[in-house]
Amino acid sequence: MIISSRTEEDCRSACAQLNERSTSTNSAVTHEEVAARYVVGDCSSRSGCEALADEVSNLTGGCLDVLVNNAGCAWGEDLNRESGRMNWGWDKVLDLNVKAPFYLSRSCLPMLTKDKDSISRIINIGSVAGIVPQEAPTHAYDTSKAAIHHLTKKLSADFAPRGITVNCVAPGFVPTRMSKGLGNYASMEKLANMSPLGRLGEEEDMVGPVVFFSSRAGEWCTGVIMNVDGGVVGGMRIPLESLDQ
């Protein structure tokens, strides 16, 4: 496993957590067999994606089984506000949320391409906000996630002849450093109550779908957008009572 982030401190911390978890849950393997490694990189530009792919290729001997495009950011500004940062905000979000998965997937293509008996996987991380817009001024973010869903479908057809599946996990509301900004518009309690299952998402909720798409069980799935949101989208209903008021 190789992870990447912009700072060495974040990479080192994440690797330590992953390695501790792996060895504590599976005593039958050695540390060397499960050790996560990292490459410091910046995916916000095409050159950064290409440099990251080159580093990973050097570490893996030019072979990669699964690519998870998880880098992302959010930005929002009320339509009536004139801060002068709107172009910057849109560029930042689209560069990292849409262009980066495209450029990195493209750059990793030689490593992912296998023979017909072996399937590689690309897993993008979208959002339910790319399916149903949020009631917040996150225009760039919501648009970027709709775009990554469509890019997933587009690349699934392009990469299938190379033995590569391309799927997408679309999380609902999960407490993260990035999602804290939603607290300006609704409390975490209210966001939890939106879900038919009555709670916010957790780290473990994201693991299952990614493992599924990476495993033999998900080998015949490609171009799939999987909502992992506690039923926020799938269980959505038209509020008929409010129409009578």
Structure-token pair, residue 138 = 């996150």
CA–CA gap between residue 210 and residue 213 (Å, rounded)? 5
CA angle 201–101–166, rounded 5-degree value: 75
Q: Which amino acid would we find at residue 183?
A: G
Positions marked catalytic: 141
**Of 225, 230, 233, nearest in space to 205 by CA:** 230
Say whether 5 sits in a helix, a strand or coil.
strand
CA–CA gap between residue 36 and residue 160 (Å, rounded)? 28
